[in-house]
A and B are shown apart, each in its own frame.
Chain A
């Protein structure tokens, strides 16, 4: 080893200049480089996926794309209007089911449960449910609703798809409501109860509005996540090359359209799949930005 690298500790005129050859300085450089490499690797898929989707899909954007039905195999032109509308309908059904149930469950956990066995069980179950693969939600709803033809003897339907997505959204909404309500200072509840508010009034007029931001953010994010799910919809909403016919008929959705068209041997369909990917990614992006906006709202 270089003797200069290890000067005697009692040396009188020991230089304070940085010596790049010292082992600690070399290790510093190596680990900084390593961290930078991994940081770049992390960002890479993020940028690449977005860039690829934008490059492949954005060029197709037109009013026709957003408003027309997909073409038959072998034909050209057409759009994905039915899939966009279908995704909106299915997500709306899912939200209408999951928001009341999820917020209600969160209110129960945070405001009513007294930390007993049942509440712990619900909290644990919520965590498990949030880790359940989405395809299992699909199979579950398939077995529960589609295979049994429970709705007007219909098998695949928009309603079944919405229910499958709502199962996926539930844990997020329950958790964000629970956590959001727990952040509300206890003194506020006392204040409301101290002026003679009942528990119901306290929750609906004071506690819930105070926790509006985290709850709304959680809801928007969960909708954004559900809107892009494919697996649960394949088994439940199926697909339809036509405009939505009703809540109890099979319905098109963007994610299933991508799944179906991307593997077809026709260039037109593959291009439509890319365009759909672009629309879907943009929709999810907009919802995420909206969630951030909701989170930054300054209510009185």
Chain B
């Protein structure tokens, strides 16, 4: 293990799916650095959780993984993000193609103003899906544990569902595109505990097929769903304005929560901080 600043932690076994190499992300055309020098290997077929206090850049890093940050004016990234051995920020890479293989579920449920069926069919259709759409809709809803609740109202608006169901619809929509990775940005922060539980159960199912990266504020959730945890922290750097996020520690969830190496991680996971 490297000592000092880089804080990279190699994860034993499992091949890397996404690999972040010295990633720094800044907003406002380089004026505000959000997160600095992140090294990380996200393994295939596992659930990786990002935890940390607000403003530590964990959502920023997550959005960098499928180039959603492109939508934010003045956001730029230094370093390399490798997916399947390809640099996502290579000039020849088409961000649309990236997002088809790395799907995303957002903080607030955001179903399209279409029917439940169309919500799921939309992504598959624009991705050129040629198979049986009914079958895809059913299997996606089943994987998102929404089939039983939604099978009788597939023609109804996505907004007719409750908040938790809407979020599972968004997960089903993402699954329908058949990506390799699903990114989740605090998917349960707008939901009640029962809906949260259902989504967590869904994630256990999804883990078998997809690599999942989840940002969460809820540490219990991280311990319940994730195999690996990355702890992000905010620090004030002497040579920069404001605060900057960095990856403090990354490793197996059990180790991060039970025997973290860094004192700040220990403080955060035990609730003495933030």
Contacts and interface: CB of A to CB of B under 8 A. Distances in A.
Interface of A (DSSP majority class): helix
Contacts of B173: 191, 195
B110 A187 contact: yes
Contacts of A205: 122, 126
Interface string B106-124: 1010111111001000110
B265 interface: no
Contacts of A197: 96, 122-123, 126
Contact of B123 (A187, A195, A209): A195
Interface string A194-218: 1111100100011001100000000
Nearest to A196: B100
A193 interface: yes
Contact of A300 (B66, B110, B114): B114
A114 interface: yes
Interface string B79-97: 0000000000000000011
Given A195-B123, A197-B126, A300-B115, A114 B73 contact: yes
Contacts of A191: 106, 110-112, 170, 173
Nearest to A191: B110
Nearest to A300: B157
A194 B185 CA distance: 12
Contacts of A209: 113
A206 B174 CA distance: 16
B112 A196 contact: no
A216 to B, nearest CB: 15
Contacts of B104: 190, 194
A300 B99 contact: no
Interface residues of B, number: 32
A74 interface: no
B113 A196 contact: no
B191 interface: no
A299 interface: yes
A187 B103 contact: no
A185 interface: yes
Interface of B (DSSP majority class): mixed
Contact of A194 (B97, B106, B111, B114): B106
Contacts of A185: 110
A235 B118 CA distance: 50
B177 A196 contact: yes
Contacts of B66: 194
A195 B73 contact: no
A58 to B, nearest CB: 42
B269 interface: no
A139 B176 CA distance: 57
Contacts of A193: 68, 71, 96, 99
A201 B127 CA distance: 11
A205 to B, nearest CB: 7
A206 B123 contact: no
Given A195-B123, A197-B123, A205-B122, A190 B114 contact: no
A57 B113 CA distance: 46
User: Which of B103, B112, B114, B176 lies at the interface centre, i.e. has the most chain A CB atoms within 10 A of its CB?
Assistant: B112
Given A114-B73, A194-B66, A195-B177, 9 more contacts: A191-B170, A193-B68, A194-B68, A194-B104, A194-B106, A195-B100, A195-B123, A196-B99, A197-B126
29 contacts: A114-B73, A187-B110, A188-B113, A189-B71, A190-B71, A190-B104, A190-B110, A191-B110, A191-B111, A193-B68, A193-B71, A194-B105, A195-B99, A195-B100, A195-B122, A195-B176, A195-B177, A196-B96, A196-B99, A196-B103, A196-B177, A196-B179, A197-B126, A201-B126, A206-B122, A210-B112, A299-B113, A300-B115, A300-B156
Interface of A: 114, 185, 187-198, 201, 205-206, 209-210, 299-300
